[in-house]
């Protein structure tokens, strides 16, 4: 057994002396570390209630047009991609603790710039800074020793990790989270300002459920079940828009961030609840599987000596895909109409289920050494 293999079989939470960790300090440290993801969750979701207000803003407050609103929602992911690489370098230089402390600087600065914004460029600059902080909080490491990709125990989990991150974003989750309130307005649903609150509560609840059952049900089962739920929910939401379109006289151009004042002519209140139910079902399905599990698997399938680097590349892929989906979501709504955009997301969810069943191994109850042996065919 090589020194690297010996290192990978050592418990990660046990101190060198062999004594059990002090539970209070462990939980306190975990809680403090969790504030980082909480902060970038707030940064990601901020655009959902902000965009409709900024679209209606009156001078001298900055006002977003359709193009600027698209950039306001998406530019945070570009900052996160850059921050991910910077975060990896920072971790190597200063360690995880100091890096987590330092990422508060762009968080605070970014929101301060947004608060004091006098024009659109200041709004975009503030979003870019908060995105940079999101990437640093993801703790991405730079560089790669490409020679490692020759080993099946490296390139197989590497491909799986990148694919999981791509499918997570192609499900349309960031578009839904960024524009939840506007999508509810597009669905002609009253009190759409509560959309972000409803989405957040459902996401927290079902993520907690996933955490409780994950070690019993297994990762593959929850991923497959989550994907199936998202297939049906995105299909149903697309069906809602298809049923409520006014007909061929409607323009194919859809401004997602502009509240729709026309009342639906062919839809009943039941169809409005179909839209709301589909949105809630999608968030629940995502939270129970495709939300947390790709990140968990990423921490389980890579050998320790390449984990930081491989994880960094996967997270970078995630943020770049998030930018692509978020930035082009409005274009898809224009070209494919709203129902076509959601049906396309449904097709990607189908592919994610097939990929899970065909390629993703079950890691429940397995050591890193056993997982690596699986990939290497031993």
For domain 148-378, give the fold: Growth Hormone; Chain: A; (1.20.1250)
Whether 293 shows a pLDDT value over 70: the answer reads: yes
What percent of the chain is modeled with pLDDT above 90? 14
pLDDT tops 70 at residue 12: no
Q: How confident is the model at residue 298 (pLDDT cuts 50, 70, 90)?
A: confident
Q: What is the pLDDT of residue 144?
A: 42
Q: Residue 230 pLDDT more than 90?
A: yes
Give just the sign of the alpha carbon dihedral 175, 357, 220, 217.
positive
Highest mean pLDDT among 85-89, 147-151, 268-272, 299-303: 299-303
Closest CA to 183 of 83, 49, 63: 49
CB atoms within 10 A of CB 371: 21
CA distance 326 to 88: 24
Instruction: State pLDDT tens for residues 139-188.
Output: 543 334 755 667 788 888 889 999 999 999 999 887 777 667 766 766 56
The pLDDT of residue 160 is: 92
CATH topology of domain 23-141: Growth Hormone; Chain: A; (1.20.1250)
Alpha-carbon torsion (38, 100, 299, 46), positive or negative = positive
For residue 37, name the pLDDT band (cuts at 50, 70, 90). low
DSSP state of 354: H
What would the pLDDT profile of 327-338 be if each residue is shown by its tens digit? 787 788 888 888
The DSSP 8-state label assigned to residue 252 in this structure reads S
Task: Look at residue 61 in the predicted model and tell me its pLDDT.
Answer: 81
- Residues 243 and 245: their CA atoms lie apart, in Å, by 6
On the question of pLDDT at 11 being above 70, the answer is no
Which has more confidence, 269 or 327? Answer: 327
pLDDT in tens, 95-144: 777 777 788 888 889 889 988 888 889 989 989 898 888 777 765 433 34
> The whole model's pTM is what?
0.64
Helices marked H in the chain: 3-8, 23-45, 47-56, 66-94, 96-102, 104-115, 120-137, 152-170, 173-178, 180-186, 195-217, 219-244, 269-285, 293-301, 304-359, 368-375
Q: What is the model's pLDDT at position 255?
A: 45
CA proximity to 51, closest of 59, 63, 38 = 63
Comparing 100 with 303, which gets the higher pLDDT? Answer: 303
Average pLDDT, the chain: 76
pLDDT of residue 13 exceeding 60, the answer is: no
CATH 1.20.1250.20 in the chain is located at 23-141, 148-378
**Position 7 confidence tier, pLDDT thresholds 50, 70, 90:** very low
pLDDT score of 4: 47
């Amino acid at each position: 057994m090589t020194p690297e293999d010996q290192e990978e079989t050592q418990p990660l939470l046990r101190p060198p002396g062999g004594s059990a960790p002090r539970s209070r300090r462990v939980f306190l440290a975990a809680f403090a570390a969790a504030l980082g993801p909480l902060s970038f969750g707030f940064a990601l979701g901020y655009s959902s209630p902000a965009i409709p207000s900024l679209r209606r803003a009156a001078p001298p407050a900055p006002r977003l047009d359709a193009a600027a609103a698209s950039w306001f929602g998406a530019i945070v992911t570009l900052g996160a991609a850059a921050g991910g690489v910077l975060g990896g370098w920072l971790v190597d230089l200063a360690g995880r603790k100091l890096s987590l402390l330092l990422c508060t600087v762009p968080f605070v600065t970014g929101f301060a710039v947004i608060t004091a914004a006098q024009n659109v460029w200041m709004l975009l600059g503030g979003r870019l800074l908060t995105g940079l902080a999101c990437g640093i909080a993801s703790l991405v490491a730079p560089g790669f020793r490409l020679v490692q990709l020759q080993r099946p125990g490296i390139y197989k989990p590497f491909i799986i990790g990148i694919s999981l991150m791509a499918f997570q974003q192609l499900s349309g989750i960031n578009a839904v989270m960024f524009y939840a309130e506007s999508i509810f307005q597009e669905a002609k649903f009253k009190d759409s300002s509560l959309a972000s609150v409803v989405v957040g509560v459902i996401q927290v609840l079902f993520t907690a459920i996933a955490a409780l059952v994950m070690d019993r049900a297994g990762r593959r089962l929850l991923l497959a079940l989550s994907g199936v739920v998202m297939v049906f929910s995105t299909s149903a939401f697309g069906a809602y828009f298809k049923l409520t379109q006014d007909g061929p006289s409607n323009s194919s151009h859809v401004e997602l961030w502009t509240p729709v004042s026309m009342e639906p002519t062919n839809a009943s209140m039941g169809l409005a609840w179909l839209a709301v139910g589909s949105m809630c079902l999608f968030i629940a399905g995502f939270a129970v599987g495709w939300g947390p599990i790709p990140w968990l698997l990423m921490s389980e399938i890579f050998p320790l000596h390449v984990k930081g680097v491989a994880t960094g590349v996967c997270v970078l892929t995630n943020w770049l895909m998030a930018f692509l989906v978020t930035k082009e979501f409005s274009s898809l709504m224009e070209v494919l109409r709203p129902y076509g955009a959601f049906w396309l997301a449904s097709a990607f969810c189908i592919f994610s289920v097939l990929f899970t069943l065909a390629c993703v191994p079950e890691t429940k109850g397995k050591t890193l050494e056993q997982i690596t042996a699986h990939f290497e065919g031993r």
